[in-house]
C-alpha cells in the first residue's frame, strides 16, 4: 500500500483567518466564543457562538462567483487557498485525473436556505433565486474546489454530522493509499450559525446557555459543562502520495497512517454505552497505522462540552488504552473555538499536525473541576505544554452514531 503524507494546511476559525493565527491563539488559551453579532438574538434562549467576524471572502474569490456561493463554500475556498499555497503545488503541471477533492459538510448552505425560504414565504415562488439549489446543496464545497483548481480525480462530499470532515480526510487518505489519486484536497467546512439552526440546537437542549459569560461557556470534561457552543469555520489538508511529494521536494508535516470508522447503531444523538463505538474507531485507526496503543502520545478529543459525549469518550479512551491512558496527553480544541460541526474534525486535524510540528499541545480551557467520570486522564488544564509526539489521534463523533479516528505519525 502507498504511503500518504500531508504537505499543506489551511484553516479559518473564530480564533484566526489562517492556520498560524488560530494555532498561536490556541496555545495562549484564548477563546473565540462571544455574543452573536450576525443576527438579532433577542428572542433566542442561546445568544452565543464562535463566529468569524470581519471576514472578506472577496479577497480570494471573484465577485461574480462569490454571489453564487453560500458562506460554507466561501470558508472552504478560503482555507483551501491557504493550504494549496502552503503546499506549494502547481496543479496545472500534473495529470488532473490524478488530483481530487473530498470535503466534509455537516449541514450545508443553511444561510442560503434560510434567506431564500424567507423570500418564498414573504414574496412568493417567483422571487426565489435560480441559484438556490446549487448554493444550498452540501457537495458544492468539493465541487467548487475542483472547478477552481481543475481537479478531475475523485470528487465528492461526506455528510456524517460532526464526523464529516474527519470522514472526508479518511476517504481521501484511502483514495491515495489504494492508487485512485496522487494528491487530494480534503477537509471540512461549516457555516450554520443562523437563527433557524440556533433555535433547533437550542430547543433540543444541546447548547450551553452561559450567555452571561461566553468565554467560559465551552468547558469540555468539566463537571459543570452544560452543552456545546455552535461555531463556524473550515480546515483543509493537502494529502500526497509519499514519492509524489518527494519528487517535487515538498515540505512534509506528518504522515497519515490510520483511519478508523464505525457506527453505534444505537441512538440519533446519544453515543453508545461505554463509548464502545468510539473505542472501536480508535482501535481500527491504530491497527491500520501498524502501531500499538502504547505508541500513541496525544489524543485530540472530540470533547464537545456535552454531558454524555465527554463522559463516554473518556470511558472509551480508558477502556482502549488501559494503563497507558494515564500517559496520554488529551485536549479539546472546542474549549476555545466551539463546535464547528462538519468542519470540526478537519480543523482538529490541522491542530494535530501543528502540535506534532512544534511538539506542543494547547490547553483545554475552562477545565476547573474535572468530571469524576473523566478522572485519571491528563486533559491539559490551564496552559499549553511541551510533549514529545510521534503518534497522534484525532477523534470525531457525530449525531447518528458516526465515529471516526484518524492516526498521524511524525514523519522522519
Give catalytic residues, as residue numbers: 162, 302, 339
Interstrand relation of 391-398 and 402-409 (parallel, antiparallel or unpaired): antiparallel
Q: Could you tell me the CA-to-CA distances from 51 to 73, 169, 300, 348 in Å, in that order? A: 16, 24, 22, 17
Q: Of all helices (H) and strands (E), which one includes residue 307?
A: helix 307-321
Rounded to a whole number, what is the distance in angstroms from the first to the last CA of the chain?
Answer: 18
Going by C-alpha positions, the residue among 314, 312, 309, 305 that lies closest to residue 374 is 314
Residue identified by cell 510533549 is 387
Residue 272 DSSP label: P
Do 187 and 103 contact (CB within 8 A), yes or no?
yes
Task: Give the separation between CA 268 and CA 398, rounded to whole angstroms.
Answer: 9
Distance CA 25, CA 96 (A): 37
Residue 374 makes CB contacts below 8 A (sequence gap 6+) with: 221, 310, 311, 314
- C-alpha–C-alpha distance, residues 73 and 268, integer Å: 27
DSSP codes joined into one string, 193-209: -SHHHHHHHHHTT-B--
62, 68 contact by CB (below 8 A): no
Amino acid at each position: 500500500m502507498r504511503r500518504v503524507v500531508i504537505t499543506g494546511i489551511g484553516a479559518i476559525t473564530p480564533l484566526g483567518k489562517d492556520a498560524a493565527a488560530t494555532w498561536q491563539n490556541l496555545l495562549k488559551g484564548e477563546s473565540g466564543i462571544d455574543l452573536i453579532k450576525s443576527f438579532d438574538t433577542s428572542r433566542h434562549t442561546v445568544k452565543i457562538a464562535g463566529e468569524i467576524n470581519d471576514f472578506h471572502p472577496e479577497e480570494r474569490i471573484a465577485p461574480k462567483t462569490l454571489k453564487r456561493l453560500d458562506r460554507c463554500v466561501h470558508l472552504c475556498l478560503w482555507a483551501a487557498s491557504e493550504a494549496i499555497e502552503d503546499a506549494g503545488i502547481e496543479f496545472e503541471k500534473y495529470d488532473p485525473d490524478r488530483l481530487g477533492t473530498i470535503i466534509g459538510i455537516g449541514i450545508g448552505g443553511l444561510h442560503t436556505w434560510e434567506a431564500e425560504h424567507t423570500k418564498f414565504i414573504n414574496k412568493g415562488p417567483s422571487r426565489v433565486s435560480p441559484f438556490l439549489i446549487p448554493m444550498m446543496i452540501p457537495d458544492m464545497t468539493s465541487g467548487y474546489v475542483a472547478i477552481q483548481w481543475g481537479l478531475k480525480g475523485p470528487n465528492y462530499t461526506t455528510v456524517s454530522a460532526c464526523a464529516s470532515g474527519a470522514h472526508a480526510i479518511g476517504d481521501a487518505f484511502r483514495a491515495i493509499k489504494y492508487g485512485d489519486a496522487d494528491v487530494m484536497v480534503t477537509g471540512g467546512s461549516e457555516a450554520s450559525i443562523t437563527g433557524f439552526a440556533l433555535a433547533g440546537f437550542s430547543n433540543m437542549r444541546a447548547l450551553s446557555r452561559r450567555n452571561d459569560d461566553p468565554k467560559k461557556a465551552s468547558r469540555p470534561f468539566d463537571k459543570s459543562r452544560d452543552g456545546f457552543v455552535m461555531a463556524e469555520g473550515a480546515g483543509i489538508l493537502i494529502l500526497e502520495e509519499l514519492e509524489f511529494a518527494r519528487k517535487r521536494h515538498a515540505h512534509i508535516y506528518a504522515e497519515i497512517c490510520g483511519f478508523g470508522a464505525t457506527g453505534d447503531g444505537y441512538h440519533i444523538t446519544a453515543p453508545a454505552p461505554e463509548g464502545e463505538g468510539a473505542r472501536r474507531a480508535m482501535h481500527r485507526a491504530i491497527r491500520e497505522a501498524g502501531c500499538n496503543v502504547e505508541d500513541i502520545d496525544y489524543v485530540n478529543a472530540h470533547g464537545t462540552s456535552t454531558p454524555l459525549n465527554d463522559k463516554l469518550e473518556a470511558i472509551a479512551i480508558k477502556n482502549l488504552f488501559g494503563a497507558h491512558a494515564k500517559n496520554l496527553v488529551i485536549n479539546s480544541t472546542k474549549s476555545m473555538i466551539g463546535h464547528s460541526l462538519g468542519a470540526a474534525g478537519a480543523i482538529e486535524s490541522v491542530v494535530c499536525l501543528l502540535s506534532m510540528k512544534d511538539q506542543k499541545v494547547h490547553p483545554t480551557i475552562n477545565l476547573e473541576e474535572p468530571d469524576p467520570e473523566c478522572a485519571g486522564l491528563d486533559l491539559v488544564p490551564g496552559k499549553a505544554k511541551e510533549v514529545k509526539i510521534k503518534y497522534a489521534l484525532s477523534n470525531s463523533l457525530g449525531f447518528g452514531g458516526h465515529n471516526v479516528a484518524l492516526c498521524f505519525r511524525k514523519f522522519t
